Amino acid sequence: MTTVGVLGAGVAGIAVGMALRAAGIDDVVLYDRNDDVGGLWHTTDYPGLRCDIPSHLFSYTADPNPAWSHRYATGAEIAAYLRSCADRWGLRERIRFATTVERATFDAAAGMWTVELADGTTAQHRVLVSATGGLTAPSIPRIDGLDRFGGPWWHASRWRHDVSLAGRSVAVVGSAASAVQVVPAVAEVAASVTVYARTPNWVVPRADAAYDEATLDSFGDDVARRRHWRTLYRESLLWHRVFDRRPDAVEELRSTALANMHRHIADPGLRAALTPDFDPGCKRILVSDDYYPALARPHVRLVPRAVTGLSETGVIDAGGDEIPADVVVFCTGYRLGAREDGRPNVDVVAPDGRSFRAAMAARPEAYLGIVVPGFPNYFVVGGVNGSSGYGPFFLTAEIAAEFIARQTTRIVTEKLRTLEIRPEVTEQYNVEIQRRLGRMSWTGDCPNFYRDATGRIVSFFPGTFGELRRRCRTAPAADFLVSAQA
C-alpha cells in the first residue's frame, strides 16, 4: 500500500508530486502509460509547436526556468523542462512508466482505493489523484472516405515524421490552436497547402523573440526574473477584462486582431473569410506571428467551409467541391477526458457504485475544480470549473496540487479513513460561480467547448488565479465530511 497514487506524469502529475514532496509526503507512486514524463508535451511534436502563453508564465513557480530561449518556448524545450523538474524533485524513481490504470474502486470500510492495471495486477492507495488531463485522445471528424483516401492522413498530435511533405499537396483541416502553428510550418515545405477553416478565430500577434545573452543572464537573478514574470502577467490582464465583457477590452482586442490580419492580408475576400462573427473571448483567442503571412502566400489556399469527406485523391468540402491532396492533416482538437478508443482515461468508481464519468455527466459540478461529493479521498487536477481562464495550466496545476497536499496531510496526520467534500458546500459554490460565469464572454453566442450540452459552463473558474489560490488555501476544514480510522 502506498499513501498516494497519482494518475499521470504530465504537467499536472509532476505538480502534484512536487507539492506532496514539499509537504513531506514521500510515499507516492505516479502511473503513466508513456515511456517518459511530460504527458502531451512528450507525445506531441508537430512542426511549429510552441506554447501560446509566455514561457516564464508557462512553468512552475516552485521551480522557475531561467534558461528559456524565447519569449514563447518550443514544444521540445517544454518537454525538456518537465523532464528536468521530475529529476530535480526525485519523481522519476516514483513513476511507473508504460503502465495503464484501467479502473479504480474505493473500499469505504478500509478507506482505500484499489487500482487495477492493464497487466492484471492491482495496487492500493489511501489517496488517489487524477492528473490525466483532458488533451489525450485526438478527435478525428466523422467523415466519409477515411478508409478510401489513397494517401496518408493523420492528426497533428500524432505527427508522421516518416512522411516527407516536400513538394506535395497538403490539406490541413481546422483553424484553431494547432492549425495556426502547423500551417506556417507546412507552407515552408509543401508545394501547395489547402486550409479548411469552417469557423474563423480571433488571432492576435504572439510577438515572439529570442532572449539575448544579457537578458538570459539577468534571469539568473530571482529579483529580475520575478519582475519579468509580473510584467508578463500584467500584460495578460487584458484577457481577464475581455472575459468579464469589459467593452473597452473587447474592442481593444478586436482592433489588435484586425490590425494583425490587415497587416498581412491584402485581399478583401480573404479578410472577410478570416473575420469571426462573434466577439473576442466567446471562443479561444489564438496567438501567432506567422499564420496570416502563411495564408497570404501564393501556394496557400483558404477554404472557409467544413470538410464532409475524402475521396481517393482529395478532400470534399460542404459545398461539394473537391480539391486534390497527397496528404491530409487534421488539426481538429481532442476528445476531452477519453482515450483514443473512446473509453474514459480511468474508470473511477465511488463506494455507491457510480462511475466518476457518469456522475459528471449527470451533474457536472466540483468544489474548486478538485473534489466531488461521494468520491472520498479522491482529487482531480483541472477538473470541472477548475482553471482560471486561458492562463497557464502550470499555475492551475500548482494551485490544485497545493490543495491536494494540504488535504492529504490532514488525512495522514489526523488518521482519517475518509475525507470528502460536503454536497451542500459544493452546491452553494457552484450556484455562485455559475451566476458569475453567466456574465462572462464564455456565454456568448458561438459554439465552444466551455459549455456542456445543457449550456452550463464547465471549463473555467470565473475569477483570477489569485482568487482561486486564496479559496483553495482557506477552504474550511468543516466543509469536508470525515471519518476516523477504526
**What's the rounded Cα separation, in Å, for the pair 80 and 279?**
37
C-beta atoms surrounding 38 within 10 Å: 24
Residue-wise pLDDT tens digits, 387-397:
876 678 898 99
Provide, rounded to the nearest whole percent, the portion of the chain with pLDDT above 70: 92
Residue-wise pLDDT tens digits, 169-227:
999 999 999 999 999 999 999 999 999 999 999 999 988 999 899 888 888 777 777 67
From the centroid of its chain, how far is CA 442?
17
Burial category of 174 from C-beta neighbours within 10 Å (exposed 0-12, middle 13-18, buried 19 and up): buried
**DSSP code string of 54-101:** -TTTSS-TTS--TT-SBSS-BHHHHHHHHHHHHHHTT-GGGEETT--E
Provide, rounded to the nearest whole percent, the portion of the chain with pLDDT above 90: 69
350: left (phi over 0), alpha (psi -120 to 50) or beta: beta
Burial category of 253 from C-beta neighbours within 10 Å (exposed 0-12, middle 13-18, buried 19 and up): buried
Give SS3 for 456: coil
Q: Cell numbers at residue 165, please?
A: 511533405
**What's the rounded Cα separation, in Å, for the pair 59 and 11?**
9
Domains in the chain and their CATH numbers? 2-137+336-484 (3.50.50.60), 140-332 (3.50.50.60)
Residue-wise pLDDT tens digits, 443-470:
666 777 677 777 777 878 888 888 899 9
φ and ψ at 481, to 5 degrees? -85, 130
Give SS3 for 361: helix
φ and ψ at 262, to 5 degrees? -65, -25
Over residues 270-284, mean pLDDT: 90
**DSSP code string of 204-222:** E-----BPPHHHHHHTTSH
Burial category of 53 from C-beta neighbours within 10 Å (exposed 0-12, middle 13-18, buried 19 and up): buried
Give SS3 for 18: helix
Q: Are 38 and 174 in contact (CB under 8 A)?
A: no
